[in-house]
Amino acid sequence: MQRIAILFLAGAAIIILSVNCSKSGSKTSGSTTTAGNNDSILLNLGNNIILPSYQALATAVNSLDSSIDDFNTSPNTTKLTNIQVLFKNAYLAWQSASEYDYLGPASTNQPVLSALNVWPTNNTLIDSNVSVNNDNVNTFANTAAKGFPALDYLLFSAGGNTLANYTTDAEAAHRSSYLAAVSADIKTEVNAVLTGWSASGGNYINTFVTGEGNSVSSSLGLLINSMDEDFEILKNDRLGIPLGLIPVGVTSPVLPKEVEAYYSGISAQLALAQLKAVQGIFLGNSGKGNGLGLVTYLTNAGVKYNGGLLSDTIKTAFTLDVTDLQAVPDPLSQTIQSNPASVQAAFTVSQKLVALLKTDMPSALGVLITYGDNDGD
């Protein structure tokens, strides 16, 4: 049996929910959601979460790029320390915007924005590029020699000898040039995506907030697919691969050098920042306070899960995952060797959360997941 409910949310938005009554013993009641024009949920997500995330990222990378230019003009210890701090700030800001890598300008601009965070970086290729003074980072061959992982290597791999790499080393001038090229590329790509979203630029924000429905091409469909795909990177690449748990069914030793930000040692911080960003999308929370998020669709539909509400189940899973990741100290590369159980606890909860976000929530909202993986979730 099917019941139809018309719900009025904050403002003038209307959401029409079609909910199938669940059968006894089933986990989730089925539902489809149609988001109307100027849907308040999309307005909150677009204007208060997505745009500010890109703005914060652009501010961070612009500041980093200016500081690198200043450092290259007259390198010293103070300036090096400053750009290392700004790098970490920019990398953390990236984690709050990467959830949108697979929709809108981030996915249609060339090169795609996700290419700014391909790790582990190819340090041998970077050294080769520096040696021959090849600053053309935007070639297919240099995909693993650009972006944030390349800066991680260039700014931290030499430890106490980093300043010498840019002053007295035989390749100092070439290395400075490569550092500037990698940073400038990040700045260019991030600002281009922000412009694409901005009302004064490509105005994708308007496309997003008026993208009604739950089809593959709707804003809801695109957002859930992009967010879920990005979150699987946390489970698989940030945690599973370094732990030796991915691919599933293959017994592997821990792989500490496979962690993100191996050289700067902020891997766990980055993973936690990404998790909290995904949680913010679900809850609708932003710098302006608690708003409307994906949870609103589920709550208003009353979607059931194991006798309770699916929305509450996902909220609890997020809380548990945040708690577990907060208990994982950096550098992650050392923790997976000294205390792998703490990292595996975070991985296990993330694995459960992926299933909820990728299977149960989309099914309840009538959204088709179009990306694929073969890790067994």
- pLDDT number for residue 287: 77
**Which is more confident, 343 or 3?**
343
How many residues are recorded in the chain?
377
Q: How confident is the model at residue 140 (pLDDT cuts 50, 70, 90)?
A: very high
DSSP helix/strand/coil, 6: strand
CA distance 209 to 207: 6
DSSP per-residue string spanning 126-177: HHHHHHTT-----SGGGGGGSHHHHHHHHHHTTGGGHHHHTTTSTTHHHHHH
Q: How confident is the model at residue 163 (pLDDT cuts 50, 70, 90)?
A: very high
Report yes or no: 267 and 260 within 8 Å, Cβ to Cβ.
yes
Q: What is the DSSP letter of 28?
A: B
- pLDDT number for residue 373: 63
Domain ranges of the chain: 2-35+213-365, 46-204
- pLDDT number for residue 11: 33
User: Which CATH code, of 1.20.1420.20, 3.40.190.10, 1.10.760.10, 1.10.540.10, is assigned to 2-35+213-365?
Assistant: 1.20.1420.20
- Tell me the pLDDT tens digit for each residue of 265-308: 999 999 999 999 999 999 999 877 778 999 999 999 899 999 99
Q: Domain 46-204 is of which CATH architecture?
A: Up-down Bundle (1.20)
Mean pLDDT of 71-87: 98
CA distance 214 to 107: 19
Q: How confident is the model at residue 252 (pLDDT cuts 50, 70, 90)?
A: confident
**CB burial string 77-89: b at 16+ within 10 A, e below:** eebbebbbebbbb
pTM of this structure: 0.89
pLDDT at 247 over 90: no
CA 348 to chain centre: 19
- pLDDT number for residue 345: 96
Report yes or no: 209 and 47 within 8 Å, Cβ to Cβ.
yes
User: Token pair 């592997």 is at which residue?
Assistant: 252
Query: Counting Cβ atoms within 10 Å, is residue 309 exposed (0-12), middle (13-18) or buried (19+)?
Result: middle
Q: How confident is the model at residue 375 (pLDDT cuts 50, 70, 90)?
A: low
Which H or E element spans position 3?
A: strand 2-8
- pLDDT number for residue 29: 42
Lowest mean pLDDT among 121-135, 149-163, 290-304: 290-304
Q: How confident is the model at residue 134 (pLDDT cuts 50, 70, 90)?
A: very high
